[in-house]
Structure 1
Amino acid sequence: MKTIATLLLAATFAAGASAQKTQEKKQKTNVPDKVTAAFKSDFPKAQKAEWEAEKNDFEVGFKLDSKEYSAVYDASGKRKETEVEIPASELPKAAIAYLKDKKVKEAARITDASGKTTYEAEVSGKDFLFDEKGNFIKSVSE
């Protein structure tokens, strides 16, 4: 019984420390409460949320269902886009063909507020952007 009580106490402490750490990360970037409330509403099961200011917006990186996500919100709490990391093999066929013989370090599916999907592939320090069908849009150096 002592062991169970000790485990419960440790779990409670760990949960409190985790919440405090998230709060500290939020305070460092001055994320408005309405932005964090919108995020919690959109992704109630998100874990390990870390915030950063991005121009006039706020970006949060988090884990959900064992996947890496990020979401960008404006100061009013409106979600502008969501990005989820995907295996390079899940890029559209046209994008895979375009990147033939290139090593993709990371790939992501990006969905904007209107539901439009684009894809991103990182290759040798450059981000290659593709439309929903995998047609090349542009590359951007990091």
Structure 2
Amino acid sequence: MKRTIVLLGAALLLAGSASAQKLKAAQVPAAVVAGFNRQFPQAREVKWEKEDEQYEAGFEQGKQELSVLLDASGQLVETETGIKVEQLPAAVRATLARQYKGIKIKEAAKIVAAGTGAVTYEAEIAQSGKTVDVLFDAERREVKK
């Protein structure tokens, strides 16, 4: 029993470390902050997270909710813009309804890759008490993270 509890605790610690890590602005490398400030000088109340080797800045600009991913040198990787659920392409909504029975789409976003301009759509869905992000490419096909 004791061994099971120790193993469960270790698994939870490992699972927690795999997710995004919240950061204070002072913990973000200067190159990342400088790159962000160059591209988004109007941003206020920026919230930082570290995802693997990249940094995510969440903020509002005007009335839009934005999130950007930057690499360690401060180069923009992608921009994620919050959109209304109704703004998801009809094919995406239809696929969600067909493949995920009984879901509720809680949030939606349009993600644009900085280098290529490739568009991905993200839907945050609630199903059986769990919240999951589902991604779709420009052809409206589901893609894995």
Tell me whether the two structures share a fold, i.e. TM-score over 0.5: yes
Whether 2:124 is the aligned partner of 1:127: answer no
Q: Residue 10 of structure 1 aligns with which residue? A: none
**Cα distance in 1 for residues equivalent to 2:70 and 2:96:** 31
Whether 2:73 is the aligned partner of 1:72: answer no
Q: Residue 108 of structure 2 aligns with which residue? A: 107
Q: How many residues align?
A: 114
Where does structure 1 lack aligned partners over 5 or more consecutive residues?
Answer: 1-23
Letter in 2 for 1:63: E
**Cα distance in 2 for residues equivalent to 1:132 and 1:65:** 26
Aligned equivalent of 1:52, options 49, 52, 58: 49
Q: Residue 20 of structure 1 aligns with which residue? A: none
Moved over 3 A (4+): none
Q: Residue 18 of structure 1 aligns with which residue? A: none
**Cα distance in 2 for residues equivalent to 1:77 and 1:105:** 31
Letter in 2 for 1:121: A
Aligned equivalent of 1:39, options 36, 50, 54: 36
Q: Which has the larger radius of gyration?
A: 1
**Cα distance in 1 for residues equivalent to 2:135 and 2:121:** 6
**Cα distance in 2 for residues equivalent to 1:129 and 1:53:** 20
Identity of aligned residues (%): 42
**Cα distance in 2 for residues equivalent to 1:136 and 1:53:** 25
Letter in 1 for 2:47: E
TM-score (ref. length: structure 2): 0.72
Q: Residue 88 of structure 1 aligns with which residue? A: 85
**Cα distance in 2 for residues equivalent to 1:94 and 1:137:** 14
